[in-house]
Amino acid sequence: MLTHIRGILDQHQLATAHRLIAAGGFQDGSGSAGMAARRVKHNDELALDPTQMRDLNNLVMGKLVEHPVYRSAAMPLKIAAPYYARYTPGMSYGDHVDDPIMGQGSELYRSDVSVTIFLNNPDDYDGGELVIQTAFGEQQVKLPAGDAVIYPSSSLHHVAEVSRGERLVAVSWIQSLVREPGKRALLHEMNLARETLLLEQPDAEATAQVNHAYINLVRMWSAI
């Protein structure tokens, strides 16, 4: 399931993120890819002073993890520190599937959910669509600055070549409490209905039934 999350960052927060990014520099991004993806990865990644990178991550990822749609759809257990990717004319990222296990040493995690946070607007660049293969065919994603998309890390996907301007995104991965994408999707849809019922009919018997069913499905399907 692809989930569009609106308004992760507002205009003030985006301006702060851009100011922090401008303090760093970009380097070849192929070094952070796995062996297969490295062959098709053509972008740059941000290199930044550790203190400034911490501030940037606290802003971008802090706002993401606070968002209720993200929490409902991703059901995060572990989340990776993001990298910040830049695509300029001629750059792209060919078809690939994200590595299943990421991190190092004792900090390993399984990649269940991928997230892309868009840091500049679609009219700032031509091309650069995130193209994801789904059961319903290819889905092209090119969102406003401050919005994000999450999707199963097992999905075949690519970033189309940029022909004008600059595409700037933050990318991260999540190990979810619920490993299977289909179960996560069902729980997210059920939670949306549950929250509506809790808001509009808090004392109804149906509300209690849906709430109990959701809670016990999470208990049944969670990985811990």
The parts of the chain modelled with pLDDT lower than 70 are 32-37
Q: Are residues 208 and 154 in the same domain?
A: no
Domain residues for the domain of 97 are: 3-176
Residue 132 and residue 67 share a domain: yes
**107 shares a domain with 16:** yes
53 and 142 part of one domain? yes
Q: Which amino acid is at 183?
A: K
Instruction: Please check whether residues 81 and 52 belong to one and the same domain.
Output: yes
111 and 185 in a single domain? The answer is no
Q: What are phi and psi of 158, to 5 degrees?
A: -155, 165
Looking at the fold, whether 169 and 217 belong to one and the same domain comes out as no
Provide the number of structural domains found in the chain.
2
Q: Are residues 90 and 115 in the same domain?
A: yes
H or E, element range at 74: helix 68-74
Considering the domain architecture, whether residues 159 and 188 belong to the same structural domain is answered as no
| Cα–Cα dist 222/224, whole Å | 6
What's residue 27's pLDDT? 94
